[in-house]
Amino acid sequence: MTASAHGSAWSRSARLGSLAALATAALALPLHLSAQDFDRPQPFYPGNLVVSRSVYDNNPANVTVGQPIPPDCPAASGGCVTAAYDGTYPTVFNNDVVDASFGITSRIFLDQITPWGGPISTLEVPNSLQRHIDADDDQLVTSFSSKSEIALNLSTDHRYLTFMGYVAPVNALDVSNSNTPGIVDPTNPAGQSFYRAVARVDRQGHFTFTETTAYSGNNGRAAILNDSHGANVFYTAGNAGNGANPQPLGVDLGAGAQIIVPTHEPEKDQTPSATPTPVGSFSVTQLGDPADKIGKDDNFRGLTVFNNVVYFTKGSGGNGVNTVYFVDTTGAACPMGTGVPSASATLPTAPLSDNAATVTTDGLPSNMCILNGFPTLSNKAKGANPVNFPFGLWFANPTTLYVADEGDGSTDGVGTAFYAHAAAQTNAGLEKWAYNTTTQTWSMAYVLTNGLGLGTPYTVHGYPTGNNPGSANPSNPGGLPWSPATDGLRNLTGRVNPDGTVTIWAITSTVSGAGDQGADPNRLVMITDNLSYTTASAAANEQFHTLRTARFGEVLRGVSFTPGTGERAGDGHDHDHDGGW
């Protein structure tokens, strides 16, 4: 089914809408089985991991050479082109070279594994390719090559797992840059409209989906449910906007950090408000820098909750600061744009107050801060060359924070030079940060990279070898090498062990000559670090181990512990995903 069959907006009437025996039995189940194998709820067992995985429906007919893209592209946007490649993986993603909005929606699978990587079960998120899913049934997809999507997070009391996606059919084109219904930017070349949605899944594998009009023109990336002390709200991270400046009000309101009230209604009965509800915002003007494009300082992707504070990361885009942020609910933690959370902070339960009349010109009120000690250099500062690309983050305790750095993804240079560049990066990998309670400042202790193989190309069965003609440029007329190499880390989770160490699981990022590096098969890795170590020399013998490499046509995106792991009675503290149990 191709995107062109669905029209510009997906109407309501036409919507496609620990256990050794178990582990041993599951070892015979390959995780790449067809959609029909996983269409029944699968229970999650505490203490295991969940990895989000997406599989591309490798059908040449998904795209036709010469097909107009993006679908329903407004001529005035200046972004209307024709496809140069058909739907065959991985060359289909060479269309990203001509269509900056290019992507294809794909199925989401939740793979339950042991902490050592042994497969247990797989749960498929409802989608239009499943036999029992009709037009009005609940369903959710991701955009296959969008590397920032389907991060996994446990709710604050650890009863539920949450993530984000699109209410769209499988094999729809350019959905990740589409508008949301009711918030249409006429300058956005991706002219279709699709809701974004937060998925919540319980220990028995039952889903509910909450639609939102936030993130119009871009994507929702992560979500956490605050279900402690009677609260019932999602915090979400993402980006908005894919058009000219200034943007429509709904785009500016729907960027970055959002707060969304969950619903149990079927998707077909939901009517999300056309006014998104931001929970936080940051502006570089807090640091004394000139104002950026409204909303783009809030281009967030990493998200966590710890000790009653919501944290975000920003690590991409030409605006803002690539760093770690927190929402200041006290209003007094950082008068100059940086600081540390107050000990009396409480989790937000209501949206940020704003003046709709001035948002598109002045932006939202700023109630977010850069965590003291983390980078503050704006990406637009004179001479700036960002070297920080934070993604996922995990607190082991109040004075130890691990941050995944994705790497810069650069393919500059001639031939294989980009591999050497990836290997030489100093921040890519797993950063360990320590907090000085006297100076109230965080500082980076060291970066763990041993065993990641930064910049070392690897092979995937069935994946092309040699050079990709679609990545040709003046310096590389024959294209760049297809083979992916690890460039850093994206999403992560961790566990504090009784012996004073922590074990951390993370998803790798890649660098390659592919048309879109987000479509590269990547890896799940793990490492154990001694909490007491403060120098790189002390941690020199610590090493990553690869638990899993995605197959041809697969990508790995998020990792979390299973719902019910470390389940709490809602103490309001220590909300660090999984640490300390």
pTM: 0.92
Nearest Cα to Cα of residue 121 among 200, 19, 224: 19
Bridge pairing between strands 441-448 and 142-143: unpaired
Six token digits for residue 241 = 């906007």
- CA separation for the pair 489, 496 (Å, rounded): 20
CA angle, 47 as apex, 42 and 48 as ends, to 5°? 50
More confident site: 32 or 580? 32
Q: What is the pLDDT of residue 11?
A: 36
Q: What is the pLDDT of residue 38?
A: 59
Model confidence at 568, pLDDT cuts 50, 70, 90, reads low
Mean pLDDT value of segment 415-433: 98
Question: Residue 571: pLDDT above 60?
Answer: no
Tens-digit pLDDT profile for residues 231-272: 999 999 999 999 999 999 999 999 999 999 999 999 999 999
Q: Which amino acid is at 443?
A: S
Q: Hunting for tokens 């699981």 — which residue is that?
A: 505
Helices (H), ranges, 2-105: 20-26
Q: What is the pLDDT of residue 276?
A: 98
CA atoms within 13 A on the CB side of 89: 23
Six token digits for residue 378 = 């704006």
Q: What is the pLDDT of residue 569?
A: 52
Tens-digit pLDDT profile for residues 455-481: 999 999 999 999 999 999 999 999 999
Q: What is the pLDDT of residue 580?
A: 32
Nearest Cα to Cα of residue 579 among 537, 540, 533, 529: 529
Q: What is the pLDDT of residue 572?
A: 42
Tens-digit pLDDT profile for residues 87-108: 999 999 999 999 999 999 999 9
Six token digits for residue 98 = 């001509």
3-state percent breakdown (helix, strand, coil) of the chain, nearest 5: 10, 30, 60
Q: What is the pLDDT of residue 380?
A: 87
Q: What is the pLDDT of residue 8?
A: 33
Nearest Cα to Cα of residue 62 among 93, 34, 36: 93
Q: What is the pLDDT of residue 381?
A: 82
Three-state helix/strand/coil letters over 469-533: HHHCECCECCCEECCCEEEEEEEEEEEECCCCEEEEEEEEEEECCCCCHHHCCCEEEEEEEECCC
- CA separation for the pair 422, 426 (Å, rounded): 9
Mean of the per-residue pLDDT values for the chain?
Answer: 91
Model confidence at 39, pLDDT cuts 50, 70, 90, reads low
More confident site: 37 or 285? 285
Q: Which CATH fold topology does 3-561 show?
A: Neuraminidase (2.120.10)
Percent of the chain with pLDDT over 70: 91
Sheet holding 523-530, edge to edge: 485-496, 501-511, 523-530, 545-549
Nearest Cα to Cα of residue 327 among 375, 285, 364: 364
Model confidence at 27, pLDDT cuts 50, 70, 90, reads very low
Map out the domains of the chain as residue ranges: 3-561
Percent of the chain with pLDDT over 90: 87
Model confidence at 4, pLDDT cuts 50, 70, 90, reads very low
Mean pLDDT value of segment 421-448: 98
Tell me how many helices (H) and strands (E) the chain has.
Answer: 4, 30
More confident site: 393 or 381? 393
Question: Do 451 and 544 touch, CB atoms closer than 8 A?
Answer: yes
